[in-house]
Amino acid sequence: MTSSNENKTQSAVERPSRDEAEAAVRVLLRWAGDDPQREGLLDTPARVVRSYEEFYAGYQVDPREILARTFSEVDGYDEMIVLKDIRFESYCEHHMVPIIGRAHVAYLPQHRVVGISKLARLVDAFAKRLQIQEKMTVQIADTLNEVLQPAGVGVILEAAHQCMSTRGVHKAGVTMVTSRMLGTFRTDPSTRREFLSIVGNPGAVAIANT
């Protein structure tokens, strides 16, 4: 869950103008050793700013609003709901390079359910920000738990981090797995096993991190 302090910090940030953002890109191009005025780079600052608007669109979204509309006419359905293999693209807050992976999100409803597309949108709302995977896992799970108040929530993220594959240790093909289990997903081993079985049991890390 995004804390109130974090929300206040984000809302208090004074957003620069588009011209200021493009000027900052020109500075970085010069720092890299190239000439922003050469033909191939003339439009690069504008392209980068437009890309950032897409990459970091999550800052303009209230994740709780995504889950605001729920449905109670489910004919007593009270079994696990799972949306797996939700592809996401996020960005490392330490190096601003991509984190690309997939999310598995599940909850055990008590009275109400939410449209399945909303689960994917919830993942994107937190992914399209500067992130670390551990925090993103907690934010998705805690928001779902707070708004829907289900009997339990399970979230597993599997992702590759380009800060490991393209710099630093240069270890390609490494996948990081994080999880957050709440309610019955934490207290009931059979519920947790069912969830892990449905999503393909992405590893013992998912159990160890509950």
pLDDT at 76: 72
Mark the ranges of the chain whose per-residue pLDDT is less than 50: 1, 4, 8-9, 204-210
Residue 114: exposed, middle, or buried by beta-carbon count in 10 A (0-12, 13-18, 19+)? Answer: buried
The reported pLDDT for the residue numbered 12 is 66
Structure tokens at 74: 């489910």
pLDDT score recorded for residue 11: 56
For residue 157, the 8-state DSSP code is E
pLDDT, residue 121, reads 97
Question: Is there a binding annotation on residue 111?
Answer: no
Among residues 43, 4, 40, the alpha carbon closest in space to that of 22 is found at 43
Going from the N-terminus, what domains does the chain have, and what CATH number goes with each? 18-57 (1.10.286.10), 65-200 (3.30.1130.10)
Give the pLDDT of residue 209. Answer: 44
Q: Which of 10, 53, 93, 110 is catalytic?
A: 93
pLDDT digits (tens, 9 = 90+) for 116-130: 999 999 999 999 999
- 92 among annotated binding-site residues: yes
What is the rounded CA–CA span in Å between residue 190 and residue 175? 26
